Each structure stands twice: as structure tokens, then as C-alpha cells.
Amino acid sequence: MSAPEAIAKVIVEHNCMYIAEIGVNSCNFCDQLLGILKGKGHQLLEYYLIDPWPHGYKCGSCGGDKTTDEKWDSLYRAAVKRTIGNDFLKVMRLTSVEAAKLFPDNYLDLFFIDADHTYKSMMEDIPAWMPKLAKWGVASGHDYSGGWQPVVDAVDEYFIERAGKAGELKKFYEIDDKHYRMDSGVWVVEP
């Protein structure tokens, strides 16, 4: 199951209508997800595409040293272009934490974090977005795998050690036998 397929399954199961994708890059995930949801007859009311498309940052998955400021601007313009005729798509060129501050608490049905894969960033992103979830909301993200150990460590620490000990978790998804990690490296937690 691909990451977009996994998240589409969660969105449909929970009837999510308001979602935020944090870490958009080229909008590949968004394009695939929307195609799957359309095939399932599920229409979102608001889908936020959040990424700083940061000048000066050399992204490993988007060309490393070849990631010029012009490339970031091109990716941003491509995201904005997708909104034409799709009023439910909202593009925000902000960091994760900056964007989170603009949402009221209990607003989103689901957030999906696939941004900066450092432990420090994940430990800033998750707590910034958790209050934005509706009481029935779902926290999720990508790259919960051995190749991205800082992501695994941050997700485990936040949800197992902090929220788990406090009794604040309703459910860890168990899509497969790998705890709450799907084969695609997606993590999903129902707080």
C-alpha cells in the first residue's frame, strides 16, 4: 500500500474533510491522494498544502546541490497552479510551526507531516499541530522507517512516552503487524 493509498483509507474511514499536508515539495503526494479520493467518491472541504519551499535549502530528495532558489519558486508556483478550479486547495508558503499558529484549535480532521526529517523538527512539528486536531482527528506522517531514524525516534517519543503515559491515546493504528507503521512508512495515530 502506497503512502497516498494508506492516508486515503484513513481519510475515508474517518470521513475527514479538513486536512493539512505539511511538507509538500512537488505536490506528488497531493496529486496521488486526490486521485484516489476522487475514485472513492470522497470530496474534501479544505486541503492545506504547507511548505516553506525554502531558499538556500539543499533538499536531498529534490536534487541536493541542484536545488536552487529558482527550483523552490517553481515548485511553489506549481502548487499554486493546482488551486485553479480547486477552491478547496489552499497553499501556504510557511514553515510548519508558523502555519500551525494560523489554525484555530480543534479545526482539522487530519494532518500529515512529511517535512524536515530531523528529530528536532519533528519534536516541534508534532506538538504544534496536535491542538489543531478535532477531538476525533487523526495525526499522521511519513517516513516512519529505519532510513529515517530521527522520524521514528520523535514519533515514538511523542506518542508512546508522552501521550501514552498520560493515557491520552485512543488508538494506535494497526494496519499491519508493525505497530502503527504501515508498509509505506506511514504512521497514523488517533489521539
Domain chopping of the chain, boundaries:
3-190
**Alpha-carbon torsion angle 8, 30, 188, 1, nearest 10:** 60
Q: Give the model confidence (pLDDT) of 49-65 as tens digits.
A: 999 998 776 665 555 56
Confidence grade of residue 176 (pLDDT, cut at 50, 70, 90) = very low
Question: Quick one: pLDDT at residue 60?
Answer: 55
For 3-190, CATH number out of 2.120.10.30, 3.10.20.90, 3.40.50.150, 1.10.8.50 equals: 3.40.50.150
pLDDT over 80 (residue 147): no
pLDDT over 70 (residue 179): no
Tell me the Ramachandran region of residue 20: left when phi exceeds 0, alpha when psi lies from -120 to 50, beta otherwise: beta
Contact criterion met (CB below 8 Å) for 173 and 143:
no
φ and ψ of 42, to 5 deg = -105, 120
**Which of 21-35, 90-104, 158-172 is predicted least confidently?**
158-172
- Mean residue pLDDT of the chain comes to 84
The more confidently predicted of residues 155 and 173 is 155
pTM over 0.85, yes/no: yes
The more confidently predicted of residues 65 and 148 is 148
Contact criterion met (CB below 8 Å) for 109 and 134:
yes
Q: Order of strands, edge to edge, in the sheet holding 18-22?
A: 89-92, 46-50, 18-22, 108-113, 133-141, 187-190, 171-172
pLDDT over 90 (residue 118): no
pLDDT over 90 (residue 155): no
Rounded Cα distance between 164 and 31, Å, is 34
The burial class, CB within 10 Å (0-12 / 13-18 / 19+), for 83 is: middle
Question: Quick one: pLDDT at residue 74?
Answer: 92
